[in-house]
Amino acid sequence: MYFEFLHVLGSCVDLFLLIFEFTDTSNDEDSSRSMRDFLDEMRAENIREHLRYFTRLPHLAGTKQNLRLAEEIKEEWLEYGLDSVEMVPYDVLLSYPNTTQPNYISIVDHLGNQVFNTSLAEPVPEGYENISDIVPPYNAFSAQGQPVGDLVYVNYGRTEDFSQLEREMKINVTGKIVIVRYGKIFRGNKVKNAAFHGASGVVMFSDPADYCATGVQPYPDGWNLPGGGAQRGNVLNLNGAGDPLTPGYPAKEYTFRYRLEEGVGLPKIPVHPIGYHDAIHLLKNMGGPIPPNNWKGALNVSYRIGPGFTDTFQTQKVRMNIQTNNQVTRIHNVIGRVRGAVEPDRYVILGGHRDAWVFGGIDPVSGAAVVHEIVRSTGRLLRRGWRPRRTIVFASWDAEEFGLLGSTEWAEENAKVLQDRAVVYINADSAIEGMYTLRVDCTPSLHTLVYKVTKQVSSPEVGEEGMSLYESWKSNQASGGFSPFRISKLGSGSDFEAYFIRLGIAAGRARYTKDKKTERYSSYPVYHSVYETFEVVDRFYDPSFQRLRAVAQVRGGLIFQLADSQLLPLDASQYADSLTKYAHSIAQLGQKHQDALITYGVSFDSLFSAVENFTTAASSFHERLKTLDRTDPLQVRMANDQLMYLERAFVDPLGLPGRPFYRHVIFAPSIHNKYAGESFPGIYDALFDIEHAANPRRAWEEVRRQISIATFTVHAAAMTLTPPA
């Protein structure tokens, strides 16, 4: 019909096209001018104010303070000028310490007398003495109980640590209380491993080796974790299920809830976190073998493995006293929208959580403050008459700390429209975890855009005036010994999970980070402690707030480009390059078992051939894009649909083995560490520890099955890029 109109116009066609092209170009120019305005509008001092304001009180998920904060954010987003902002409640399973029976760990003598008890709370930082409702350190969703037993020290509690303990040290943890240090992997994986091996309880401690940087003072004189600080955190193994009682469906009033004992991912044993001052008391008298060097932390103790205490302390036992309660509690997401001018049915989502363990100075408020400033800047542009081509959705998620609950429930409730319409999900958790350089984890099709956007952002570092963030990032990474421009795979542990790994929506995240090469501590020292305050950012991490501003500009710039570009800035060829890399790396893993590959007829050839096919399809697709008639709205829409649905094509509704909500065949969190992203996770898991498989024939069959699924999926994705008819 559109073409027919051109015919009807007859001799006017040339003029018509001229005008159209002119308006089109002008639109692109407008868009890039608006992008500049959008980035420039974001102010360091505003981000500081947002951070200040949002961290004045604790705002734990499910509490009044966090609801109040949600209401404030809603009001401000409306004032800033969003088209609509709504509160979206769910009733999910949360977990809180018992307010009358505190959690602690004791050393008890042979008469049952408590000879030592761990502290019930962290020393409150100066200036916050009058704040009530600071939840003491605890591990959310811990089972209740008072297990008594000997301690066994299992390093970080990783799969390989338990293997070493059992296979090499021949120590069985059945009925023992396991003590592990925080770090390296997600704490829920530690608990899963301990429970799997029969432990009756888990004590987690923060070792200075993992939570103190050299030459840095403990808070408040520096940004290290003080000895009285401890890391809160949930110990679920949800594998993407969201609310443990309503897996797969939103936790609404009409929703069927499983019984607690049927809930997904709830640990069956008590778990409790302590600081390193308390840890010394538990560790110092331990007996048993001397640990390998890489099991030793930085405390002045021997790190002996146990079981139990040595010498005169042999009769002493450890008792855990855990009274934490699970309860179904109302949470609230805040969802704001800017209606797209041309394609209102295409959604570009920027989401991050609002709930914090205590003040959330870094996690999540450094991120939430950045989102707030992005919303403010968006509002300014809207008031000047700008409107993005596509709809932008801003989300302030609740209960991320309790298992990504707010974001997952919303993804579940909106799964169908998101599947049809979501272009991208950009995550906005903590915006800073170090003072070194940018860190980006994202889907391969976003790589090109990330580079483009970081070139439009200035380096926030003193002495790098006039340098782009891109240049700064590049030079720092190079000096850090990494390949320059390194962008990592997405793992999990934040709110992008349901969008990316369950629904197959292109996703990414960006933040300021530490120098991985020299700073070996896990996350950042005060992570999830009461010392995550406004001051830790204001005094140490980003006194000028230029780093947070740069992160705001990266996150905002990504959203802007994805919402406003006529052609979606997604790059299928980057995906092809990544797939090639992943295929080689998984095949290499397989090659370690040359003989078995032959014996069991396992080959990676089909996968390589699928990746080649995908590479060709991607490059032809981008070749065709060059000659696309951009004046034809349907041509543009069709090409954009192919780009949007590319990520969706990697999702298998059948899910990964035993993990029905992890459906992305290319990327999933490692089953050994939820934080780490694994490529070709199905094949990877099938190959893991295959030399110890009870039935090698079956185990290699599973490898073949997984290679076949990956092959199919890559072929199917290639198909989405070929001309549609």
User: Rounded CA gap, 719 and 294, in Å?
Assistant: 48
Q: Does 23 bind a second copy (CB under 8 A)?
A: yes
Does 567 contact a second copy by CB under 8 A?
Answer: no
Label residue 416 exposed, middle or buried (CB < 10 Å: 0-12, 13-18, 19+).
exposed
Q: Considering only residues 75 through 134, tell me which ones interact with a second copy, judged by CB under 8 A.
A: 83
Q: Which of 272, 369, 346, 315 is nearest to 567 (CA)?
A: 346
Residues 84, 305 contacting (CB under 8 angstroms): no
Minimum CB separation of residue 698 from a second copy in Å reads 11
Q: Distance between CA 125 and CA 275 in Å, rounded? A: 15
Q: Which of residues 270-309 bind a second copy (CB under 8 A)?
A: none
Shortest separation between residue 395's beta carbon and a second copy, angstroms? 14
Restricted to residues 618-677, the positions that interact with a second copy (CB under 8 A) are 633-634, 637-638, 641-642, 645, 648-649, 652-654, 660, 663
Nearer to a second copy, 308 or 340 (CB): 340
**Is the previous residue joined to 307 through a cis bond, with omega within 30 degrees of 0?**
yes
Within 8 A by CB and 6+ apart from 191, the residues are 139, 157, 202, 235, 237, 267, 269, 271
DSSP sequence for 560-595: HHHHH-SS----HHHHHHHHHHHHHHHHHHHHTTHH
Nearest approach in angstroms of CB 499 to a second copy is 15
Assess 606 for contact with a second copy (CB under 8 A): yes
Q: Which residues within the stretch 161-180 sit at the binding site for a second copy (CB under 8 A)?
A: none
Name which of 598 and 719 has its Cβ closer to a second copy: 719
The distance of closest approach from Cβ of residue 56 to a second copy in the complex, given in angstroms and rounded to an integer, is 34
Which of 161, 343, 373, 429: binder of a second copy (CB under 8 A)? Answer: 343
Least CB distance from residue 6 to a second copy, whole Å? 10
Contact with a second copy (CB under 8 A): which of 416, 463, 465, 466?
416
Taking the complex as a whole, the smallest distance from the CB of residue 387 to a second copy amounts, in Å, to: 11
Helices (H), 133-257: 159-163, 187-196, 208-211
Cα–Cα distance between 547 and 432 in angstroms, integer?
Answer: 8
By CB under 8 A, residue 147 contacts a second copy: no
The smaller minimum CB distance to a second copy, of residues 23 and 327, is found at 23
The reply to whether 362 sits near a second copy by the rule CB under 8 A is: no
Which CB sits closer to a second copy, 116 or 258? 258
Q: Rounded distance, CA 640 to CA 657, Å?
A: 32
Which C-beta is closer to a second copy: that of 8 or that of 462? 8
Instruction: Considering the complex, state which of residue 420 and residue 689 has its C-beta at the smaller distance from a second copy.
Output: 420
The stretch near a second copy (CB under 8 A) out of 112-120, 122-130, 376-384, 604-612 is 604-612
Q: Which is nearer to a second copy, 414 or 523 (CB)?
A: 414
Rounded CA-CA distance 499/422 in Å is 9
Q: For tokens 């990676």, name the residue.
A: 604
Q: What is the closest distance, in whole angstroms, from the C-beta atom of residue 246 to a second copy in the complex?
A: 9
Name the residues annotated as catalytic.
400, 603, 641, 664
CB nearer to a second copy: pick between 166 and 641: 641
Give the ranges where 323-404 is alpha helix by DSSP (H): 365-383
Take residue 180 and report the two structure tokens written for it. Answer: 């592990």
CA 55 to chain centre: 21
Q: Is residue 34 at the binding interface for a second copy, with CB under 8 A as the rule?
A: no
CA 576 to chain centre: 24
Comparing CA positions, the residue from 663, 540, 575 lying closest to residue 248 is 663
Contact predicate 641/630, CB 8 Å:
no
CB 103 within 8 A of CB 97: yes
Nearer to a second copy, 284 or 421 (CB): 421
Copy the structure tokens of residue 499.
């969008």
Give, for 40, the enclosing helix (H) or strand (E).
helix 13-41
Please tell me the distance from the alpha carbon of residue 667 to that of residue 391, in angstroms, as a whole number: 27
Q: How far apart are the first and last CA of the chain?
A: 19
Binding range to a second copy, per CB under 8 A, among 15-23, 200-208, 209-217, 289-297: 15-23
Please, which residues bridge with residue 338 across strands? Answer: 392
CB nearer a second copy, residue 57 or residue 92: 92
The CB-of-42 to a second copy minimum distance in angstroms stands at: 24
Residue 27, interface with a second copy (CB under 8 A)? yes
**Contacts to a second copy from residues 675-704, by CB under 8 A:** 701, 704
CB atoms within 10 A of CB 345: 10
State which of residues 414, 445, 492, 573 lies at the interface with a second copy (CB under 8 A): 414
Can you tell me which of 117, 310, 566, 619 binds a second copy, judged by CB under 8 A? Answer: 566
Q: Which of 233, 261, 270 is nearest to 144 (CA)?
A: 270
Site for a second copy in 191-250 (CB under 8 A): 248-250
Min dist. Cβ of residue 708 to a second copy (A):
4
Instruction: Quote the tokens at residue 412.
Output: 């579940």
Residue 421 touching a second copy (CB under 8 A):
yes
Smallest separation (angstroms) from a second copy to the CB of 252: 7
Question: For residues 248 and 292, which CB has a smaller minimum distance to a second copy in the complex?
Answer: 248
The DSSP output letter for 156 is: T
Interacting residues with a second copy between 363 and 392 (CB under 8 A): 391
Per CB under 8 A, which region of 42-50, 413-421, 478-486, 553-561 contacts a second copy? 413-421
Applying CB under 8 A, which of residues 213, 558, 690, 717 lies at the interface with a second copy?
717
Query: Is the CB of 87 or the CB of 342 nearer to a second copy?
Result: 342
Any contact of residue 339 with a second copy (CB under 8 A)?
Answer: yes
Residue linked to tokens 């020290």: 153
Is residue 32 involved in binding a second copy (CB under 8 A)? no
Residues 590, 297: Cα–Cα separation, whole Å = 34
Interaction between residue 31 and a second copy (CB under 8 A) = no
Residue 256 within binding range of a second copy, rule CB under 8 A = yes
Which of 130, 254, 261, 312 forms a contact with a second copy (CB under 8 A)?
254
Structure tokens at 127: 């200036």
The answer to whether 184 and 212 are in contact (CB under 8 A) is no
Q: Is 612 in the site for a second copy (CB under 8 A)?
A: no
Write the CB contacts of 569 (distance below 8 Å, at least 6 apart in sequence). Answer: 448, 449, 452, 561, 562
Question: Which residue lies nearer to a second copy by CB, 174 or 256?
Answer: 256
Return the residues of window 447-506 that contact a second copy according to CB under 8 A: none
Torsion of CA 167, 170, 173, 177, to 10 degrees: -110
Taking the complex as a whole, the smallest distance from the CB of residue 176 to a second copy amounts, in Å, to 36
Q: Which of 13, 19, 115, 567 binds a second copy (CB under 8 A)?
A: 19
Q: Min. distance of Cβ 328 from a second copy in angstroms?
A: 15
Q: How far, in Å, CA of 182 to CA of 155, rounded?
A: 9
Interface with a second copy (CB under 8 A), residue total 73
Question: Applying CB under 8 A, which part among 1-9, 41-49, 54-62, 435-443 lies near a second copy?
Answer: 1-9
| Residue 13 is a binding residue for a second copy (CB under 8 A) | no
Q: In what order do the strands lie in the sheet with 271-274?
A: 151-153, 177-181, 201-205, 271-274
Q: Which stretch binds a second copy (CB under 8 A): 4-12, 135-143, 368-376, 519-527?
A: 4-12
Phi/psi for 485 (5° steps) reads 60, 25
Contact 443, 506 (CB under 8 A): yes
CA separation, residue 567 to residues 386, 451, 562, 630 (Å): 18, 17, 9, 9
Give the Cα separation of 547 and 38 in Å (integer).
17
* The one segment of 21-29, 228-236, 266-274, 482-490 that binds a second copy by CB under 8 A: 21-29
723 lines the binding site for a second copy (CB under 8 A): yes
In the complex, what is the shortest distance from the CB of residue 370 to a second copy, in angstroms, rounded to a whole number? 24
